[in-house]
Amino acid sequence: MNTLSKPDIYNPSGIKLELDYIADTIFHSQKSTTADSKTFSILIIRIYGGGSSNIQTMQLLSAIRELNIDQRFYTIEILTCDDVNKNHYSIQDIINWLLGSSVHFITGHVHQGLQLAVLDSKMLTQTGSRFTMSSILCELQRLKFHRGFPYGNYLQCPVFLQDKYEYLSILRNYDMCNPTFKVDRSLWFDSEEKNSEILSLIDDFLVNCNEEGCGWVVKLPFVTNQIVKGLKTKADVIKKLHSIFNKDNQGIYPYAMIQPCMKNRKEYKVVYIPSKSIIYVTSSSTTAGHYKKAFPTGNNHCDLFDFVKRVVTVFQDACPHSICNGLFRVDVFMNNSNKFIVNEFESLEAVYYGKSIQESAVTNFLKEYWLAKLGSYQLATG
C-alpha cells in the first residue's frame, strides 16, 4: 500500500454499537444496485493488522469469506507495520485511514513493531508536536463511535493498549502479580523536591520487595523484551532509569517499571479462552529462532490453570470492557515462596503454539470469534 485514502466525514449519531450488529448495519444496508446503471454501493473494510502474518487478520478474512457476500459489494484494505514504516505514516494517518472506512478492525497492537522514532519525526513535521505513547492512546479514542473492532470503551482495555502497569495494578490488589513500582517520567523530570520524593519511594520499594534476593529489573511498557535485568543495588536501578529516560529524549514512554528479578526464571505461557474452556501451556521462542516446550508436557498443571482462571475472572470483573474473549495468554512465574504470580498478559498477536490439536482448537475458535461479530448478516438476509 503506497498511499492512505482520505477519510470521509463521519457522523456517529444513531450508530448501533453492538459488535454483533456490524454486518447487519453495514453489509446489509449498503448492498444496493440500480438495474439500469449496474452501479453498486461499495463497503470499505479496513484492517490494521500489525505484522504481515497476523493470525487474527487471517482468521478475520476467513470469517468474511464464509459470509459468501458478493465481492462486488465490498473491498478489503489491510495496513501492516511494514507499510507504516516504509511510508512514514504518523499515528494520525493510521487513525484517519481507519475512520475513512465503512467498518474498521484492529487485529494487532497499533504500535507493535513500529519504528517509534519514525512516527515521532513524521508527527513533528506535520503538527510541530512530538509523538508519544500517550498520543497513540488519545488517537485511538477517536474510533470510539466508529463501526468496528474495538469500539467504545473496549478501546481503553489495558491489554489491547499493552499498558502493562494498568492491568498489573488491578492484580496487585489480589496479590496475583510481581510487586511493581511505577516511575512516572513527568515526576522524574519535575522539581528537585518531587525528584527527591520519588527517589525516596524507590528506595522504600527496593528495601521492601527483595524477597527473591536477585536484585531488580527495569521494564518499559507498551513494548516487548525491553527489560534490563541483574540490577543489584539501588545505585544500579537509579543509573538505569536515568539512562532510559535520557535516551528517550523525545518523551515517547510515559513511565518505566521496577520489579524484583525472579530467582526462578521459568515462565509458564498459558493460552486461556474462557468461552471454549481451552487452556494449555504453550511453547516459547528461543533466540535461535526455533521453538521449545517451556515446561514438561507430563505435568497436567491443575494448580496453574486454576490460578490463571482466577486471574482472568478478577481482571474481567475489575475491567468489564477488557478484551479477554479472543486469543488471550497469561504469562506466569512461580516466586521464591512457590506462589504463582502474573508476569504479563498477551493478546491479539500472542504466540499460541502447542500440540497440533491445541493449535487447531485456537485457530477454529478465532474464526468463530470473528464470525460472531459478523453473524447477524446471515440472520438478517437468510
> Is 322 within a domain?
yes
Separation between Cα atoms, residue 198 and residue 187, nearest integer Å: 7
Residues 140 and 121 in one domain: yes
Q: Residue 250: pLDDT above 50? A: yes
In this prediction, residue 352 carries a pLDDT of 87
Residues 239 and 94 in one domain: no
Regarding beta strands 268-273 and 227-231, do their DSSP bridges make them parallel or antiparallel, or are they unpaired? unpaired
> Is 362 within a domain?
no
Residues 242 and 310 in one domain: no
Last residue of a domain, one of 260, 276, 297: 260
* H/E stretch holding 204: helix 192-208
Mean pLDDT calculated for residue range 298-322: 90
Residues 305 and 171 in one domain: yes
Residues 254 and 297 in one domain: no
> Is 333 within a domain?
yes
Q: Which three cell numbers stand for residue 95?
A: 487513525
Mean pLDDT calculated for residue range 373-377: 56
pLDDT digits (tens, 9 = 90+) for 97-122: 999 998 999 998 887 766 666 666 66
> Is 99 within a domain?
yes
In this prediction, residue 5 carries a pLDDT of 53
Regarding beta strands 103-106 and 43-48, do their DSSP bridges make them parallel or antiparallel, or are they unpaired? parallel
> Is 214 within a domain?
yes
> Is 78 within a domain?
yes
Number of domains in the chain: 3
- Give me the CATH number covering residue 191: 3.30.1490.20
pTM of the full structure: 0.82
Q: What is the mean pLDDT of the chain?
A: 80
- Give me the CATH number covering residue 281: 3.30.470.20
pLDDT digits (tens, 9 = 90+) for 271-287: 999 999 999 998 654 43
Point out the least confidently predicted range of 50-64, 175-189, 277-291, 309-323. Answer: 277-291
Residues 124 and 56 in one domain: yes
In this prediction, residue 109 carries a pLDDT of 83
> Is 298 within a domain?
yes
Residues 172 and 311 in one domain: yes
Residues 290 and 244 in one domain: no
Asked if the bond preceding 150 is cis, omega within 30° of 0, the reply is yes
> Is 13 within a domain?
no
Residues 73 and 200 in one domain: no
Residues 233 and 303 in one domain: no
> Residues near 18 by Cβ (< 8 Å), separated by ≥ 6?
none
CA 249 to chain centre: 25
Q: In what order do the strands lie in the sheet with 328-334?
A: 278-281, 268-273, 328-334, 340-347
Rounded to the nearest 10°, the torsion over CA 201, 204, 205, 209 is: 180
pLDDT digits (tens, 9 = 90+) for 320-370: 999 888 889 999 999 988 999 999 998 888 888 888 889 899 999 999 999
Residues 252 and 307 in one domain: no
Point out the least confidently predicted range of 14-23, 56-65, 162-171. Answer: 14-23
Residues 171 and 206 in one domain: no
Structural domain that includes position 42: 19-153+370-381
In this prediction, residue 379 carries a pLDDT of 28
Pick the residue with more confidence: 228 or 17? 228
Q: What are the E-state strand segments in the chain?
A: 43-48, 74-79, 103-106, 148-149, 181-184, 216-219, 227-231, 255-260, 268-273, 278-281, 283-285, 291-293, 328-334, 340-347
